[in-house]
Amino acid sequence: MDIARPKEVATLPVRALSLAERVWRASKLVFGVSGSLLVIGNIALLLLPVPHLHLCLFPLAFILGPLLGYFAWRDRVVFGRGEVPCPKCHEPVAVPDGTHGYPARFNCPCGIRLELKPAA
């Protein structure tokens, strides 16, 4: 059996993200995550005199925010609503809202993980 061949081929609506949309999605994550962690770190520093919390949250804010922003930047497509047949149980499985990027992965209720890749 050829493992590289897909077991099922399905057609789904996919919207390609423009450069501005990708930058906006990445910026929201970078500033949202980093900003939230900085605010939490400052409030925690004022309320709890625990220097360890302060020392851990600030580097985490400056690493986690850009890292998540990079992952959002990598996503070039957003999936629309659709269903794909499960290769194991053959039941239609709805693609979850907000699924983005290739390979898209989500679970079937029967317990296996579905992976969507673009057709070559």
Q: Which residues bind Zn ion (CB under 5 A)?
A: 86, 88-89, 108, 110
Residue closer to Zn ion, measured from CB, 59 or 87: 87
Burial 34-48 (b: 16+ CB within 10 A, else e): beebbeebeeebeee
Choice between 66 and 85, CB closer to Zn ion:
85
Q: CB-side exposure of 108: number of CA atoms within 13 Å? A: 18
Measure the CA–CA gap between 103 and 93, rounded to whole angstroms.
Answer: 16
Taking the least distance from each CB to Zn ion, the nearer of 68 and 108 is 108
d(CA 50, CA 46): 9
Cβ atoms within 10 Å of 29's Cβ, excluding its own: 20
Between residues 92 and 118, which has the closer beta carbon with respect to Zn ion?
A: 92
